[in-house]
Amino acid sequence: MDIGGTLIAGPAKGPLKGNITVPGDKSMSHRSIMLAALADGVTKIEGFLPGDDNFATAAMFEAMGAKVTWLNDEKTALTVEGVGLFGLKEPENVLDAGNSGTAARLITGILAGQDFHSVLVGDASLHTRPMQRVADPVRLMGAEIDGREGGNKMPLAIRGKKLKAIDFVSPVASAQVKSCVLLAALFADGETTVTEPKATRDHTERMLPLFGQAVERIDALSVRLKPCGKLSAPKETIQIPADPSSATFFAVAASLVEGSDVVLNRIGINPRRDGWRRVMADMQADLILENEGKVGAEPVADIRVQATTLAGMKVNPQDIPDAIDEFPVLFVAAALSEGTFILDEAEELRVKESDRIATMVAALQACGADIEEKPDGAVIHGKKSLKGGVTVDAHGDHRIAMAMAVAAQKADAEIRIENAAAIATSFPSFVELAQRIGMNVRWETS
């Protein structure tokens, strides 16, 4: 896949230093727009992630009648004038989720409950990703949904219906699936429950009550939603904490580059997103939490990271959903550790924006890392440094591009990272912030 954008990265010229705030959380930014669009009244949102994925969500809801007003040039603050739970209008054109699996899977739950027809498209990467996992439950609830491969691949055509409540046992540990069903449940005729095989991020459950819709946690793996018939714009501004998935790139870079000392401000430390910190703590990383507090319904803290020698570890499979987006850069940490890192039961990594096991194995091997691909993970034996002077392919996957930019800091010469433009989907200011703490990375200018 040629999507363009080449990064030139590494090696680091000295220790990484500084105090930075990474942009807002991507998962919460999606949910804030969706719930605000379905609410009565005007919701104010701050700390929104100005990434292409979130803009795609905003545009899809604007196409169905919500009014989005940006309050600053950076597009981190906005108001959304909602249409009310039953107020969305049939879109005149296809709805385009871009590169975003979260946008596509969550909106499927909402579209399933509408009294209209919609067609959901995305980019080439999104069109390869499995959608059966959301098509199945919304069909069980009564919606009609079709697409390539019997509804497993986008574009999807969705004919919304009056939905039936279900007790859904999800075969995959996926917050996107759980959230799709919970959003569809807002339109259902009774109580819906969702049970998942492993606990996944719970931002939907935490944010819905801010809009007046209770979600009951039955136990660690099950939630119940009884629709109250409306969502209301919260009186308080929705504040979105800094994205732990973006922070992890700098946490790994600061751990690896000798003498580094970096503070990452107001990072979300929700336990369902905090797997990266547990993995790094097991690797003996030096991470200190300071100023713990709360932003809205979410716990946050400043995280101070100092360089240290990292050890190996075996990832506990229960922790995988809590670190699911961080494995590309955790592989980099492992490749530069003093031990052996073992990850298994992580086959979900193969159906992300790229096959993240295959793409990271290829990229790290090109740099001389000792990494062995497994069907459901990898075994990595750490080395002191990596080989530069090579070109690697990010395959249009934002997190592969950023992970390899971190790896390059410990290479013996520059690394070219091709097809890196997708960084704009989740972290458009990555290069600027990386440079600010002293990372050696820039966009290649032609």
Q: Which residues are at the interface with ligand S3P (CB under 6 A)?
A: 27, 102, 174-176, 179, 200-201, 324-325, 348
159 contacts 142 by C-beta, under 8 angstroms: no
In whole angstroms, the minimum distance from the beta carbon of 284 to ligand S3P comes to 26
Closest by CA position to 443, among listed 1, 2, 6, 3: 6
Residue placing its CB nearer to ligand S3P in the complex, 102 or 440: 102
Per-residue CA distances from 212 to 40, 186, 205 (Å) = 11, 12, 12
Count of other CB atoms within 10 angstroms of residue 428 = 17
In whole angstroms, the minimum distance from the beta carbon of 75 to ligand S3P comes to 19
Q: Write out the two tokens for 204.
A: 């939907």
Distance CA 373, CA 349 (A): 12
Residue placing its CB nearer to ligand S3P in the complex, 201 or 395: 201
Residue placing its CB nearer to ligand S3P in the complex, 170 or 409: 170
Residue placing its CB nearer to ligand S3P in the complex, 201 or 266: 201
Residue 238 burial (C-beta neighbours within 10 Å; 0-12, 13-18, 19+): buried
Cis check for the bond before 299: say yes or no (omega within 30 of 0): no
Catalytic residue among 53, 243, 274, 325: 325
The two most distant CA atoms of the chain are separated, in Å, by: 61
Residue placing its CB nearer to ligand S3P in the complex, 175 or 441: 175
- 3-state DSSP assignment of residue 257: coil
- Render 13-27 in DSSP notation, one character per residue: -S--EEEE-PPBPHH
- Render 265-319 in DSSP notation, one character per residue: EEEE--GGG-HHHHHHHHTT-EEEEEEEEEETTEEEEEEEEE--PPP-EE--GGG
Q: Residue 27: what residue type? A: S
Residue placing its CB nearer to ligand S3P in the complex, 133 or 416: 133
Distance CA 223, CA 167 (A): 10
Residue placing its CB nearer to ligand S3P in the complex, 179 or 248: 179
Residue where the block lists tokens 């000295």: 14
Is 412 catalytic? The answer is no
Per-residue CA distances from 81 to 43, 67, 78, 302 (Å) = 7, 5, 10, 32
Residue where the block lists tokens 């290479």: 411
Residue 338 contacts by C-beta under 8 Å, 6 or more apart in sequence? 309, 310, 311, 312, 382
User: What residues act catalytically?
Assistant: 325
